[in-house]
A and B are shown apart, each in its own frame.
Chain A
Amino acid sequence: MYGNDFAPPEDGPGGGLLGEVEAAEAALREAAARARRGGPAPDEDFAAYFADVIDADQKIEPRDWMPEAYRKTLIRQIAQHAHSEIIGMQPEGNWISRAPSLKRKAILLAKVQDEAGHGLYLYAAAETLGVSRDELVELLIDGRQKYSSIFNYPTLTWADVGAIGWLVDGAAIVNQVPLCRCSYGPYARAMIRVCKEESFHQRQGYEILHTLAHGTPEQKAMAQDAVDRWWYPSLAMFGPPDGDSTHSAQSMAWKIKRFSNDELRQRFVDMCVQQAEILGLTIPDPDLRWNEQRQAHDYTQPDYDELMQVIKGNGPCNRERMEHRRRAHSDGAWVREAAAAYAAKQRNKEKVAA
C-alpha cells in the first residue's frame, strides 16, 4: 500500500499512512473492548501474565507488572521522542520571524506549537512509567539522553522548512505509524494523536515545496537545494542498518517495535519517489531505480559514519541546539521559582482562611 499504490496527487502525501493510523486506533478500541483477564490471579506468575497480554495483542497499562528492561526501554524511547519534539522546535522556529507571508507565518507558528504539545504528552506518557518530567528534562540538558540527530542540521533557507515537513516529518510518520500498535497503551495512544498531527505537518511541508517548485527559478533552486541537503539525513533517521541495530530484536519481541530499520527506510524511499515526481524535484541519488524483482526501489544508503558522528555530538548544530535548550531552561529558572513560591503562598492563604 506504499509506493505504487500511493494516493492520487490531489490527496497529497500521507493519505495511506493516515489510513493506517485510523486502523490502529480501531484495533486499539477493539483490544480495549475485548474482555481482559482482569489481571493475574494471586498465585500466578507475573511474567507469564505479561507474556500472555503481549501475545494476545492487548495493551500493557501503567498499573500492570512489566519486566524492568521493558520499562527502561520504553522510558528511553519515549523520552528520546519527547526530547526530539522539543529540540525539533528550534530548526523550524528559526524561520518564524522571516516566514515570507502572513499565512505561512501562522501555519509555521502553529506547527512549532504542535511540536511543544507533542513533547508534553510524550513526557506525560513517560511519566506513567514512574519517571518525572523534571528528571527527563535534566537528562536531556546534561546530555545523558539523546534526541533525533536530524535536528542537528541547520535550516538555511525557507525551503528547508518545506523539506523538513515533507522528508523529516514524512520519515517520522513512517517510523511512528507502527508505534500506534505498540504494546504499551499510553505510548500507543499518544502516537495515534501525534501521527494525525504529523500527517498534517507533512502535507504543509509538501505544499511549501510544491509552491516553490512551481514558482520563480530562484524558488525552484531553493527547493531543490533543500531536498539535496535533507534527503540523506532523512534516510539516516531510521537508524543504523538492521545488522548493526542494538535494541531491535528485544523490542520486536515485546511488540514495541514492529518493523526493522531497513524495512521502514525502504517504505519511506518508495513513498517519496512518486511524491518527488509530482513536486518536480529530483531525489539526489543517481542509483535510485525501481527493482521489478523486489517490487521496491534500489537506493543509495545514507552515510552511517556521518550519522554516528552526529549522534556523538559532532553534527553541524549539536552544540547550538543544546546551548539554546540549556539557556532557555536556565533563563526561565527564576520564573519557575516565582510560580512555585506564589503557589505556596496561595496554599497558605487558603489554609489560614479555612
Chain B
Amino acid sequence: MSSPFDFTLALGDDALIAAQRLGEWTSRAPEMEEDIALANIALDQLGAARLLLTYAGELEGAGRDEDALAYLRGDREFHNCLLVELPNGDFGVTMAKLFFLAAYQLPLYTALSGCADERLAAIGAKARKESAYHLDHASLWVKRLGDGTDESHRRMQDAVDQVWPYTQELFTADPAAPVDPATLRADFDAVVSAVLDEATLTRPADGWAPGGGRSGVHTEHLSYLLAEMQVLHRAHPGAKW
C-alpha cells in the first residue's frame, strides 16, 4: 500500500514519462497544428510532473528536488505505469496511449482536487482542466482515425488492441492512497466505450494484464528513455543549468 510520497511520486512519474514521449513528436507530427497540440499536451504533462515531483520531494524530506528525482533515479526507482513508457509507435498508437491516459487522469485529478491533502487538491484542480482538453483532443483523433479511411481504421484498431492490456495496471486497488485507483474504473470504462463505439472500433477483451510499473519493474523501454533523458545532467554532477 502506498504512502503519500509513493502515490505522489508515481503520478509525477506518469506525467514526466508521458511528457518525454510526447516531446519526441516535436517536428514530426502529421500536421503543423498537431505539432503544436502535441507540444501543448507535453508541456501540460511536464508542468504537472514538476508540481508532483517537487511535492513528492518535500513529502520525502530528504532534500531531493524535481531534478534530483527526474534525473538521478534509475529505472527500478521509477513508479510510472507501463502505458506511458511504451514507444510512440505511429500516430495511431500515440493517440491510443494518450486517449487511455487522459481517460484515467481526468477522473483521477478530479477526485484528487477534492482530497484532504491541500497541495494534491490544488495540483488536481489545475491538472484536471488540462486532462479534459487532452481527452477531448485524443477522443477526436480516435474517432477520425477509427471512422476515417480503411487504412486508418485498421491502424487505429491495431493501436487500441496493442495498448489496451496496459490500461489494466492503472486501476489496481490501493485503498490507502489519497485516491484509490480502483474507484476510477467506472468513469474510464464509460468514456472509453462511448468513444470507441463512435469510432467504429472494437473494445478488446480483458486478458493479458501486464503490470509492475508501480513497483519499479518496467518494460525494457524505460531504461533507454531514461538514458537519453538523463545523459547530460548526469555527465556534469552538481552543475547548475
Contacts and interface: CB of A to CB of B under 8 A. Distances in A.
Nearest to B148: A338
Interface in B141-163: 143-145, 147-149, 151-152, 155
A102 B39 contact: no
Interface of B: 16, 19-20, 23-24, 26-36, 39-40, 42-43, 46-47, 49-50, 53, 66-67, 70-71, 90-91, 143-145, 147-149, 151-152, 155, 228-229, 231-233, 236, 238-241
A98 interface: yes
Interface in A213-240: 215-216, 218-219
A136 B137 CA distance: 27
Nearest to A344: B148
Given A109-B23, A211-B241, A86 B32 contact: yes
B27 A328 contact: yes
Contact of B30 (A104, A215, A335, A341): A335
A266 B91 CA distance: 46
Given A109-B43, A334-B151, A342-B148, A93 B26 contact: yes
B239 A216 contact: yes
B20 A97 contact: yes
**Binding site secondary structure of chain A:** helix
Contacts of A119: 32
Interface stretch (A38-46, A110-118, A289-297): A110-118
B42 A109 contact: yes
22 contacts: A89-B26, A93-B26, A96-B24, A97-B228, A100-B236, A101-B233, A102-B50, A103-B241, A106-B46, A106-B50, A110-B39, A112-B27, A113-B39, A211-B241, A216-B236, A216-B238, A216-B239, A328-B28, A335-B91, A335-B145, A338-B152, A339-B144
A102 B27 contact: no
Contacts of B29: 328, 332
A218 B236 contact: yes
Contacts of A331: 28, 30, 90-91
A36 interface: no
A220 to B, nearest CB: 11
B155 A158 contact: no
A328 B34 CA distance: 12
B46 A120 contact: no
Contacts of B50: 102-103, 106
Interface of A: 86, 89-90, 93, 96-106, 109-110, 112-113, 116-117, 119-120, 123, 158, 208, 211, 215-216, 218-219, 324, 327-328, 331-343, 345
Contact of A219 (B28, B149, B236): B236
A100 B27 contact: no
Given A218-B236, A328-B29, A331-B28, A110 B152 contact: no
Contacts of A211: 240-241
A105 B145 contact: no
B23 A96 contact: yes
B239 A116 contact: no
A281 B238 CA distance: 22
A89 B35 CA distance: 10
A103 B19 CA distance: 13
Contacts of A105: 19, 23, 46
Nearest to A329: B30
